Amino acid sequence: MQYNPGWNNSSVNLLHVRAVGPSDTLHYVWSSIGAPTVLLVATESRSSALRVNWTQLLSPAPAGAIWIDPPSSVVYSTAVVFTKVFEYSEAKTLEELFYPTYDLSGFSWDSINHTLNHTALTAEFTGVPATDPSGSFSNGSLAFRVTAYEAGGRDGPLPSLLHTANSSKVEFVLAGVAPRGNSSRFVLEVATVEETGVVQRLRSARSIDDEYTPTIFEMLSLVAESQNDSSTLSFLQWKATAYGSQSPRREDSIQCRSHGLQAANWTLPVSGIVHAYFGEGVGSTYTISAINISFGGEDGRVYQEKRYLSWSALLGFGQPPKDTFSPLVISIMAVALGTPMVMLLVGSCVVVFAQRKRYSEYEPIN
């Protein structure tokens, strides 16, 4: 993990996470220059390196300021941008009342240097609006917590996401932010940037096994697929839940919904590293898709009471991890389904044996 490589000023944030494999390298570039963004680049070289022209990156025309050396080693690149947070509440007429949008490209972000943990491979981007007329952020903040992984495993805290060494976690957190309505709900807008020939698809998988995330039976994945061979190139994966506590429990669950993946027909909000890497072709040569993820119960009062919201997602390369039934669940299912079958089999044998024994007491008639 490198913080602002080649730059000694901490007034901006750029975090480079580099994972080296047997014959390739994965690059994650997180930044809050503009809207919070993560750039994902896969290369087929163990020695590929991130290059940054800081003077150009911080200029009004950053195109070409970020590249991977050597450029020929890049096999795939994409970006995920966290663009906006909407807040709304339902009036008595069931109409939705939207408050002024929080544009994350206009936030002021703290330096992540003091939150960077090279041992745990974590960092936290914390910000507040540059202007806050309503005073909602006077005692609160918005944050994106980033975690990288050295190996496969499962997170301890809920929602206990299953991860691989090819993935990283991002946690969206609203803490102490005063809602502007009596039953406010929040919506996070997430945009993706893809190369030509790559399409985004939203998948939903349901399972009867909720051992690791109690009462949550749905997993959603936003996957990038190649149109040529339908192979999955990257993913953003999350459970259909958020939580209203720093130490989440089942009762702290907040309803999470995804609202239609759409091709973005608007200009992507200012994101320094997206324009720096992809150039001016964003929106023409490269395609932009967006999805809205909303948080809130039926009455929206969970956040109102606790003033805390946490939503976790996994992002990475290749196929998203798939949960399988654990040995415990398999054992329970075997007992639950096997016991009636054994009883039925034993009962059938007893009946057959009893019938044979009863008829064997009579002598055959000659």
Give me the phi and psi of 331, to 5 degrees please.
-65, -45
How far apart CA 360 and CA 202 sit, in angstroms, is: 67
pLDDT category of residue 281 using cuts at 50, 70 and 90:
confident
210 and 250 Cβ atoms separated by less than 8 Å: no
- Please compute the mean of the pLDDT values over residues 157-161 and round it to a whole number: 95
Statement: residue 131 has pLDDT above 70: yes
Of 93 and 356, the structure prediction assigns the larger pLDDT to: 356
Residue range 192-224, pLDDT digits in tens: 999 888 999 999 999 888 888 999 999 999 999
Residues 237-253 pLDDT 10s? 999 999 999 999 998 99
Query: Tokens representing 251?
Result: 């009762």
DSSP states along 313-353: EEEEESSPP-----HHHHHHHHHHHHHHHHHHHHHHHHHHH
Considering all CA atoms of the chain, what is the largest pairwise distance in Å, rounded to the nearest integer?
112
C-alpha to C-alpha distance for 300 and 298, rounded to whole angstroms: 6
What are the tens digits of pLDDT across the range 100-123? Answer: 999 999 999 999 999 999 999 999
Answer yes or no: is pLDDT of 359 > 60.
Answer: no
User: Considering the chain, what is the average pLDDT of its residues?
Assistant: 89
User: pLDDT value at position 196?
Assistant: 85
pLDDT tens for 61-70 read 999 999 999 9
- DSSP conformational letter for 34: B
Residue 5 pLDDT > 90, yes or no?
yes
Average pLDDT over residues 172-194: 93
- At 78 the three-state DSSP class reads strand
pLDDT surpasses 70 at 164: yes
In angstroms, what is the C-alpha Rg of the chain? Answer: 26
Which of 70-84, 258-272, 281-295, 300-314 has the weakest average pLDDT?
Answer: 258-272
Place of tokens 């007992």: 335
